[in-house]
Amino acid sequence: MSIKDIMDTMDYGPAPEGAGDARAWLAAHDHRLGHFIGGAFTGAEAAAIAVENPATGEVLARIPAAGPAEVDAAVAAARAAFPRWAKLSGFERAQYLYAIARGLQKRERFFAVLESLDNGKPIRETRTADLPLAVRHFYHHAGWASAVESEFPGHAPLGVCGQVIPWNFPLLMLAWKIAPALAAGNTVVLKPADLTPLTAVAFAELLCEVGLPKGVVNIVHGGAETGALIVRHPDVAKVAFTGSTAVGREIRRATAGSGKRLTLELGGKSPFVVCADADLDAAVEGVVEGIWFNQGEVCCAGSRLLLQEGIAEDFLARLRTRMQKIRLGDPLDKSTDMGAIVSARQKARIEGLLAGARAEGYSLEQSTCPLPDRGHFVAPGFFADTEPAATVSQVEIFGPIAVTTTFRTVEEAVSLANNTAYGLAASVWSENVNVATELAARIKAGVVWINATNVFDAAAPFGGVRESGFGREGARAGMAAYLCPTAPRRRAVQIAPADLTACTGTEAIAPGILDRTMKNYIGGAQTRPDGGASYVLRGRKGEALGLAPVSGRKDIRNAVEAALKAGGWAANAHGRAQVLFFMAENLAARAAELSATLVQMGVTPADAAQQVRKTQERIFYYAGMADKDDGRTHATKPRHLTLSIPEPLGVVGVVAPDEAPLLSLMSLILPLVATGNRVVAVPSPAQALIMQPLYQIFDTSDLPGGVINLVSGERDGLAGVLAAHDAVDGLWYHGSAEGAATVEALSADNLKQVWTNGGLALDWADDRAASGREWLDHATQIKTIWLPYGA
């Protein structure tokens, strides 16, 4: 096309970016790349996995697959490097992170071109989004490294971190994972996707140039088998994974009972809500960025368009016009808007889902832009009218295809937005601040953009809820995920025996015991267990003290339903504080009764008095914190108000230990209810007598029914029901190591957040160990809201 032709048509002419440097780099390696272990490259001679250019099908290089020997070597190198790296001052680690950031900046063009060749995304995206964000993460975390001692006092790095990253943002995901791990003092074994490993190898070379100590970062190649070896390795202290929900479930099961810390950033099916008062042209451009950016290969893509009925037809007409202007083609052409799908397999998966939707009766509209003769390309498109239950409305397509549904009211928009198992992100478009903030508050997602979409920054926490995973990356929360509180060694928990055989009435019952035939406490009322059976609670000498319910699955179900109805508890922090202060007052009034009950259960009089006193102190502490669990405003992009708001998990199961029966049970319940959660608690089976005075205190403290529910019975059986229950959003378990492993494995199906004692006993009287900020953080999850401002 000549310049005259371009001036006549005003079409974009070709503007290719030179790939000479990247291709020379590949040639210098003879198109064979190896692992990076202990500061050296190895294994290139065994390279057999072909790495293709998605836009052409050309084989760019070959990589080896790491097996047990290579993964063992990488973990050993990281473990050997950990003590010296962790002992460096924060300033010394910050200097390395700064040098990495500067090195990436100096080679931005090289890395951008290599990324486009490897992944198929347009050069304008790698150059203006991927690379600057990767650099930003290393700069940002250099700052955290230099401040870690003052900002995280009493915390230490975890050790060796295993990190597995996806193919859609290869270098950026590497930066998201490695930067906070190094800043906190950890060492790393990272596996890039076998489809897109090139920039990870180039990054490893950069680490050698800046002089990063050997073994601090190790990079091994391979597929799912290699990732599984890293996840399961006994010397890996933390696993950070970004990828599919299905693989996230397998990782949760694989790490159950191992004590490994876990961060999962998984799939999404994010709603893109356009209200009648929205700026429709801006919202159309939001769709371009929300679902056609990066070929739609974005976990938080706004792939479900929810349009208010009054503007739906107009909006779709504008969207059709805009879609036809998307330029699809050579990723290295600076005029290209959309590049190639990462692989033939991914393209086939997308096309299979589209064919299935057509078979279900839905009509797909796609751009008529010509597709290149070779490579893996899919034209941008959308389904104009899909039912919420349609497969393509529920399943992550991970391609440049949106689905569309209409709504009438804000209430209906919230219902549709939350009609998915995922909860990664959402985008809301409205010029009415009341409508926008109402939707942002009620949509279940870890990130919400208002009049924007796909905006990221290292200073803003990112992560999901529900089946989109748990944990946050970026900002303070992302740093905290790579640190742990320093604590004294803890002994293995001792499980107190409890005979849960149903009482037959044949045993002689001491006078007054009939008055202690307790019931469960569900929805603010005393309720009989579903099976109607009770078991005998015994004192230190085996004497009968009372009867407690033998509860089962239906009792947990009833308690969860009661908790779900108490959702208003989360709304008023001051109101929660008042109820808790009143609870402390009523506990003080019943101190003698509580102490006497504890003594009957085998606690010494001195310990009983201490438990009651310390419980009252804990209630006061959490009452005071109920309205002080502040969010943050982050310094991110100019003219953006970026807020992190701690939200309650929802309904949380609590399984209490045998030790310190009053103090431990209340120490588990209090941070949860203070932050707005509702609780279904299982007290110690051997010490369930504590239920009776507690629910009398709850009844007289204006506690709304359903906020705290007490269900007694076999600890691990009830814990398993809570772990498997889809409506339970979190579980705090304190029991045996085997029980902790079981509930972690059972939680994989719904990916709820589980926090366990790992089978180790806690000193419940120690405020540093059994209360405080860590407990409040575990009781909440961060929602990040982005609000651009200005005309």
Residues 476/460, Cβ–Cβ less than 8 Å: no
pLDDT score at 180: 98
What is the torsional sign of CA 649, 652, 657, 660? positive
H/E/C letters for each residue in 610-642? HHHHHHHHHHHHHHHHCCCCCCEEECCCCCEEE
d(CA 672, CA 555) in angstroms, rounded, equals 21
Give the burial string for 207-234 (b: 16+ CB within 10 Å, else e): beeeebebbbbbbbbbeeebbbbbbbbe
Residue 336's identity, in one-letter code, is T
pLDDT score at 678: 98
From the list 417, 346, 398, the residue with the least C-alpha distance to 376 is 346
d(CA 707, CA 682) in angstroms, rounded, equals 14
Give the model confidence (pLDDT) of 657-682 as tens digits.
999 999 999 999 999 999 999 999 99
pLDDT score at 490: 81
**Which residues 6+ apart lie within 8 Å of 689 measured at CB?**
516, 518, 537, 545, 546, 548, 597, 600, 601
Of 175-189, 443-457, 511-525, 706-720, which gets the smallest average pLDDT?
511-525
Q: Mean pLDDT for the chain?
A: 94
Give the burial string for 756-782 (b: 16+ CB within 10 Å, else e): bbbbbbbebbeeebbbeebbbbbbbbb
Residues 756/257, Cβ–Cβ less than 8 Å: no
Residues 66/74, Cβ–Cβ less than 8 Å: yes
From the list 16, 55, 49, the residue with the least C-alpha distance to 341 is 55
Active centre residues (catalytic): 265, 299
Give the model confidence (pLDDT) of 250-285 as tens digits.
999 999 999 999 999 999 999 999 999 999 999 999
pLDDT score at 546: 86
Instruction: Bin 532: left if φ > 0, else alpha if -120 < ψ < 50, else beta.
Output: left
Chain-centroid distance of CA 498 in Å reads: 37
pLDDT score at 511: 58
pLDDT score at 9: 66
Q: How confident is the model at residue 780 (pLDDT cuts 50, 70, 90)?
A: very high
Give the model confidence (pLDDT) of 652-663 as tens digits.
999 999 999 999
Residues 407/416, Cβ–Cβ less than 8 Å: yes
Question: Average pLDDT, stretch 775-783?
Answer: 96
Residues 692/516, Cβ–Cβ less than 8 Å: yes
Residues 697/586, Cβ–Cβ less than 8 Å: yes
Share of the chain above pLDDT 90, in %: 89
What is the torsional sign of CA 588, 590, 594, 596? positive
Residues 139/101, Cβ–Cβ less than 8 Å: yes
Share of the chain above pLDDT 70, in %: 97
Burial of 469 (0-12, 13-18, 19+ CB in 10 A): buried
**Can you tell me whether residue 685 is helix, strand or coil?**
helix
Please say if the pLDDT value at position 506 is more than 90.
no
H helix runs in 195-343, sequence order: 198-210, 224-232, 245-255, 280-291, 309-323
Please say if the pLDDT value at position 508 is more than 80.
no
d(CA 712, CA 520) in angstroms, rounded, equals 7
pLDDT score at 492: 86
Question: Average pLDDT, stretch 539-560?
Answer: 91
Query: CA–CA distance from 65 to each of 42, 85, 214 (Å)?
Result: 11, 28, 21
